[in-house]
Amino acid sequence: MSDYYQTLGIQRGASKDDVKKAYRKLAHRYHPDKKGGDEKKFKEISEAYYVLSDDKRRAQYDQYGRVFSSAGGAQSGFDPNMWQNMDFGQGFGGFSDIFEDFFGFGRRGTKRQKRGRDISIDIEIPFQDSIFGTTRNVLLRKTGECRSCQGSGTEPGSKTDTCKTCNGSGTVREQKQSFFGAITMLRECSVCHGKGTVPEKKCKQCKGKGIDRSEEEISVTVPAGIENGEMIGLSGQGEAVAGGVSGDLYVKVHVSPHSFLKRKGEHLLMDLDIPLTDALLGTEKVIESVDGKIKIKVPAGVDSGEILRVRGRGVPVAQNQRGDLLIRVLVRNPKELSRKAKKLIEELREEGI
């Protein structure tokens, strides 16, 4: 007989959370109602979980092994009638969660709401728009709420009737066979999709489903200061599903590189080439920035590689607050000198400049 810890694939010192995680993973894999399931294996891991999930049973098992008894008589550590006393609500969370996944209903029979698939798309925006923000309209072909009946499935002008299959409850009883035996579960009515009502006359556009596949234009607001590769989430803009809620739309933003500006956090960086004379004497320059043309002052005696800072001309970080524009000065030395220029420079060298 295998060791319970080996059955769940955990160490002896594993925590309760580790025990539960291991059980959930294996139960999903081997449940007999799932494709490729193994009833025998499922019973083994359920037995192991039953023992190791309870402090008292686990302590007995650790002390006496596979065969133990709280009353002194040897018996199997697994009670074949254990499910009769199990609390499938709060007390036995592992089994309750598994049932929710398999049968579509949560603890105490509450229905788990269906949700449509999420959609992920990519858009590309200019560098300038990434700084100040923009709005982009994208055209998607997806399953959405029927525009003709607004999701009701009913032809405009007609009425709805109580679903005869579920008698208006939106659910029907279904019997499932499991290692516990026959279990009666509630599932969503496949006729009314959980609504409890059916259209007297089905919508011609969606055939009564309330959803159809069509093109939809969606407006995407790109916030100021967004970085390359960031995602924007739009709740409820994904695929729709009958009787449930729509999924979400995720937009990955790609920022086109700028010809001379680069971003570093909240600051913008650029290079400025100036001749040696401007570096020695100082000057004023008009440069292009994300705000258009601006005038800057280059101080006399500036060194090549020195950074000039223009405050408030960078990336927006908060309301009325922006980073800075950082300008790296690159002094351009002449490749050839005239006789006059060479003489002047030699005079400067003689003076130690």
- What is the 3 state secondary structure string of the chain? CCCHHHHHCCCCCCCHHHHHHHHHHHHHHHCCCCCCCCHHHHHHHHHHHHHHCCHHHHHHHHHHCCEECCCCCCEECCCCCHHHHCCCCCCCHHHHHHHHHHHCECHHHCECCCECCCEEEEEEECHHHHHHCEEEEEEEEEEEECCCCCCCCECCCCCEEECCCCCCCCEEEEEEEECCEEEEEEEECCCCCCCCEEECCECCCCCCCCEEEEEEEEEEEECCCCCCCCEEEECCCCCCCCCCECCCEEEEEEECCCCCCEEECCEEEEEEEEEHHHHHHCEEEEEEECCEEEEEEECCCCCCCCEEEECCCCCEEECCEECCEEEEEEEECCCCCCHHHHHHHHHHHHCCC
Same domain, 138 and 216: yes
pLDDT for 200 equals: 80
Considering the domain architecture, whether residues 15 and 85 belong to the same structural domain is answered as: yes
% of the chain at pLDDT higher than 70: 83
Domain-located, residue 297: yes
pLDDT band at residue 103 using 50, 70 and 90 as cut-offs: very low
Q: Report yes or no on 87 lying in a domain.
A: yes
Q: In terms of pLDDT, which residue wins out, 142 or 78?
A: 142
Least confident of 73-77, 138-142, 281-285: 73-77
171 lies in a domain? yes
> Does the pTM of the predicted model rise above 0.75?
no
Same domain, 66 and 141: no
- pLDDT reading at 74 higher than 60: no
Domain assignment present for 38? yes
- How large is the average pLDDT for residues 283-300? 94
More confident residue, 130 or 93: 130
Q: Which CATH number fits the domain that encloses residue 278?
A: 2.60.260.20
What pLDDT score does 337 carry? 82
Asked if residue 252 has pLDDT above 90, the reply is yes
What are 94's two structure tokens? 């592992």
Q: If you average pLDDT over residues 6-24, what whole number do you get?
A: 91
pLDDT digits (tens, 9 = 90+) for 16-56: 999 999 998 898 888 877 777 888 888 889 989 988 999 88
Task: Using the predicted structure, report yes or no on whether residue 86 has a pLDDT greater than 70.
Answer: no
Q: Is the pLDDT score of 322 beyond 70?
A: yes
Is 155 domain-assigned? no
Residue 301 covered by a domain: yes
Give the range among 94-98, 127-131, 333-337 with minimum mean pLDDT.
94-98
Q: What is the pLDDT of residues 154-195, one digit of tens each?
A: 888 788 888 888 888 888 887 766 555 566 677 778 778 777
Which range marks the domain in which residue 271 is found?
262-350
Rounded to whole angstroms, how far apart are CA atoms 114 and 191?
15
pLDDT value at residue 108: 46
Say if residue 144 is in the same domain as residue 164: no
Long-range CB pairs of 167-171, under 8 A, 24+ apart, other chains included: 168/196, 168/197, 169/196, 170/111, 170/194, 170/195, 170/196, 171/111
Residue (of 126, 120, 118) closest to 226 by Cα position: 126
pLDDT at 71 over 70: no
114: in domain = no
92 pLDDT tier (thresholds 50, 70, 90): very low
What confidence category does residue 331 fall into, taking pLDDT thresholds of 50, 70 and 90? very high
Would you state the pLDDT for residue 140?
A: 92
Do 99 and 11 have their domain in common? yes
Query: What is the number of structural domains in the chain?
Result: 4
In the chain, % of residues over pLDDT 90 = 41
Query: What would the mean pLDDT of 292-299 be, rounded to a whole number?
Result: 95
Q: In whole numbers, what is the pLDDT of the chain averaged over residues?
A: 82
Tell me if 287 is assigned to some domain. yes
What pLDDT is recorded for position 94? 45
> Which of 11-15, 75-79, 132-136, 343-347 has the lowest average pLDDT?
75-79
Claim to verify: residue 8 and residue 103 sit in the same structural domain: yes
Residues 136 and 228 in one domain: yes
